[in-house]
Structure 1
Amino acid sequence: MRYKLPVLPFLLAGCVLSSCQDHQLTAPIQPTVTTLVRGLVGPIGVETDASGRVFVSEQGTGNNDGRVSEIAPDGTIRPVVTGLYSFRRPDNELDATDHLLAADGMLYILNAKGLYTISLASINAGNASVAASSLTPENIQQFVIDYNFAQDTGESHLYNMTLGPDGALYFADAAANAVIRRSKTGQLSVVTAVPGIPNPTPVGPPVIQSVPTGITYDSRQFAMSTLLGFPFPAGKAMIYRMDLGGNTTVFQQTFNSLVDIENDGIGNYLVLEFGTFGAQGFTPKTGRLLRAKGSSSDVILDNLNMPTDLKVADNHTAYLLSMGDGTLSKITF
C-alpha cells in the first residue's frame, strides 16, 4: 500500500509543549506562534542542523519541481536543491520528496528516486542552488522491492528516517511497512516488518496495514509512529517501540493516523495526528499534537488541519509544518 498525505490547510492553537530527543521544553500557556513562510508547494518535512539553520522539503506540483530550501530567520526562502523528481500519478497522488535529516555533517533527502545526500558545509549564502540532476540518488527502494517479505506489498516508499546508535540510518518505509537499515558503509538490511491489525470494522480488508510514518531513537530504543490503512479506524493507530534487534512492542494504541514522532526527553513521545477519517476523507481541523505516555496522552495542540511535521530545534523553539496551507510556523517559548 502506497502512503501519501492529502493536501489541506491547518490551524495552530496555543498550548503547553514539551520536547524531543536532546531538548526539553517548558512552555507558557500561550507560546508565541509566528507564520514564517507562506506559499510553499507541498511542504512535508522540516529539519534543523546543529547551528540552528532550518530546512524544508517541498514535493512540488508533479512536474519535477520538488526542492529543498533553507529558511532564514526573517522567512526568506533560499533554494538549496531544485528540480527534484515530482510526478503526479493517475490517482492524483505525488511521487516526490519526503522527509529530511541533518546528521554527521550531511543533509539527507528522501525522494521517490532514492536518497540524496549533500554536505551541510556546502550550503551557504555564497553558493548557488544545486540542480538535482547533478546529484546521484541512492536507490534504496529497489533493495526493498526485491526483498521477500512475508507480507509483501511489492512497493517501497522511504518516508522518514533517523540516525541510529551505530551511525547507521534507519528508514520508515511507508509502502513496504518495514524498517530498513543502511550502515555507515552503505550496506542495506531489513530490521523488521511492522505488523498490521485485525480490521475492527465491517468495511475493508480483514487485516489493516500498519504504515510506519516516523521513527526516532532515544539512546536506548527506537520508536515508530503508524498510520493505519483503509478504513483508517479511529483510536487504533499505534506507537511501536523497537530494540536494536528489531523486536517490536506496542507502546500505546489510542491514536488517529499518526504522521510523526519525537522523543520528549523524559521517556515519552510527542506525536502528530494527521486527523480523523470521515465520509469525505480526512476531516479538516481534526489533527492534534499529543504527548503519549503509554497509558494516556496529553493534548498539547488541537484543531490542527492536517499537520505534517514537527521539529524541536532547541529549548525555546519548535517548527510546525502545514502541507495544505504551504506554511511553516515558528513556535517560541
Structure 2
Amino acid sequence: MHAIHIRTLIRRVAIVTFGASASLANIAAHADDCAVVASGLRAPIGSVLTEEGDLLVSETGTLNVPNSGRISIVSPDGTRRTLLDGLPQGTNAAGGDASGPNSLTLRGRTVYVAIGQGDTVILGPMMGTWLPNPDVSSPIFSAILAIHLSSAAERQTKGFQLTEQQQMRLAGGETVTLSNGGGDRISIEVVVDFPDYESDPLPDLPANVRNSNPFGVLAGENNLFVTNGGLNRLVKVDLASGTYATLASFDRIQNLAGAAGPPSVEPVPTGISQVHGELLVSLFSGAPFLPGVSRIKTVDRTSGDQSDFITGLRTAIGVLPLRNGSDIDYLVLENNFAPVPGFPPTGAAIKRFETPTSTPTKVNQCTLDRPTSMSLDQSSGTIYVTELLRGTVVKVPFD
C-alpha cells in the first residue's frame, strides 16, 4: 500500500488535544462514561496548553473550502476564540478529504504548526499512482509554520485572518505580521518548507511521485522533531537555521505469519512524544490494518537508532507517558475506521500499559469514533479525546 495522507486512513477507510466551541457547563452525554465537551470544530487534530492556561487547537478545516484551516484559543471555561484563520487547506486526492493543519507544539511564546500535504498530488492513470498537482491551493503545504504570540494577544485577541497573498509572501521567505485593528498583533514565518513530494518512478509511469505529509511535531531545546506519514520518516529540524535531516526512516512492517493481506505494510508514523530523553513514535500501519501489526517505536534523539517499544497494536495514533514519581505507565490511543472490505472492523480505544510488554487495560468504556489524539489533565483525572469526523472533544474519566 502506498503511504497516503494519514487523515485519508482515518477518514476514508476509517498529539495532545483539547478543543471547545461550547461552555464546559453545557456538557452533553456521549455514551456510557464519556461526555461531549465541545462540538462544531473543523476536524480538530492537535492542541497544546499555554502558560496562560488556554488551549491552542489546530483544526484541519472545512471540506471543499480551500484555505479554511484554523487555530483556535480555548479558554478554561470552554469558550472558543479564533487565533488564526485562513491557514492552508486543500482536498486530498487520495481520499477526497480535507488536508491542512495537523498537529502543533509550543516552545516559549512560539507555536509550531505542521501543515499537511493538502492537494499537492493528484491521482495517476493507474491505481496507487500519483502525479504532481499543477494547481495547488496553497504554496506552503508540507511545511512547519511558526506563530509568535504575545500573552496580551492570547488574552484579548479577536482573531486574525491569513490571506492568499500573505501565504505567497510566507512562501517567499518573508515574516508576515498581522494586525486585526484591535491593537494586538502576531507574526508568522515558515520554519521549514519540505518538498511536497519525492520522485517515485515506476516502470510504466516514470513521473510517479510519493507525497510528503508532516503530521506530528514535537519541540526540543534547539530542534523540532517531525513525523512524516507520507514518506515514513522522522525528521530533525534545526530551529536556528531551518535546516533539516532525516533522523530515522521506518521500514515496512512484516505482516503476521499466516495472516491475510500483503507480506508487509506501510509503517505510517503519526503521533510523537518523549520519555527518558528518547522519542516515542506511533506507527499507524497500513491496509488491511490487522491486529498486531501497528506499534510504538523508540528513537534516539541524536543517533536515530530505533527499536520496538510497544507491539501488538492495530491502529496506534498517539502515545502518552504517565509519570508517577519514578514509575511510568503508557497510554496508547488507537483509531477506528471502516475497514478494508473483507476484514473485521477495528475498535477505538485508550489502552494503558503498566510496562511496554504488559497486558494492557482499556481505559474508555464508551464508544469513541475516529479519535485522533488525547490529552491527560492530571489534576482532574480526565482524558480529553478529539473525534475527527464529529468535530468534537469528549472527556473520559481516568483513575
Same fold (TM over 0.5): yes
CA distance in 1 between counterparts of 2:43 and 2:210 reads 26
- Tell me which of the two structures has the higher relative contact order, counting C-alpha pairs closer than 8 angstroms and 6 or more residues apart: 1
Q: Root-mean-square deviation (CA), in Å? A: 3.0
From 315, 319, 325, the counterpart of 2:384 = 319
From 124, 135, 160, the counterpart of 1:130 = 160
Per-residue deviation, 1:70: 0.9
> Superposed, which structure 2 residues align to 1:1-333 within 5 Å?
1-5=3-7, 6-7=10-11, 34-60=35-61, 61-63=63-65, 64-90=67-93, 91-112=95-116, 113=141, 114-121=143-150, 123-133=153-163, 134=166, 135-142=188-195, 145=198, 154-164=210-220, 166-185=221-240, 186-200=242-256, 204-244=261-301, 245-265=303-323, 266-275=327-336, 278-279=339-340, 286-292=347-353, 293-295=355-357, 296-302=359-365, 303-316=367-380, 317-330=382-395
CA distance in 2 between counterparts of 1:143 and 1:326 reads 27
Per-residue deviation, 1:93: 2.5
Q: 1:320 to 1:49 in 2, by over 3 A?
A: same
**Percent identity (aligned):** 22
Q: What 5-or-longer segments of structure 2 have no aligned partner?
A: 13-31, 117-140, 167-187, 201-207
Q: 1:73 to 1:315 in 2, by over 3 A?
A: closer
Alpha-carbon displacement from aligned partner over 1:282-329 (angstroms, at most 9, x marks no partner): 987820001232222221115322211112244325422111221123
CA distance in 2 between counterparts of 1:180 and 1:88 reads 25
Q: 1:315 to 1:282 in 2, by over 3 A?
A: farther
CA distance in 2 between counterparts of 1:182 and 1:225 reads 19
CA distance in 2 between counterparts of 1:153 and 1:196 reads 18
Alpha-carbon displacement from aligned partner over 1:1-59 (angstroms, at most 9, x marks no partner): 12333349xxxxxxxxxxxxxxxxxxxxxx98542211112111132123321122111
Per-residue deviation, 1:146: 8.0
For the residue of structure 1 that corresponds to 2:248, the secondary structure is: strand
After TM superposition, the structure 1 stretch with the greater mean CA deviation from structure 2, 173-182 or 152-161, is 152-161
Q: What 5-or-longer segments of structure 1 have no aligned partner?
A: 9-30
Normalization by structure 1: what TM-score?
0.82
For the residue of structure 2 that corresponds to 1:128, the secondary structure is: coil
Letter in 2 for 1:118: I
CA distance in 2 between counterparts of 1:283 and 1:62 reads 31
For the residue of structure 1 that corresponds to 2:328, the secondary structure is: coil
Letter in 1 for 2:223: A
Contact 1:32 1:332 in 2 (8 A): yes
After TM superposition, the structure 1 stretch with the greater mean CA deviation from structure 2, 297-306 or 254-263, is 297-306
After TM superposition, the structure 1 stretch with the greater mean CA deviation from structure 2, 133-142 or 185-194, is 133-142
Which structure has the larger Rg? 2
Letter in 2 for 1:209: E
Q: 1:124 to 1:153 in 2, by over 3 A?
A: same
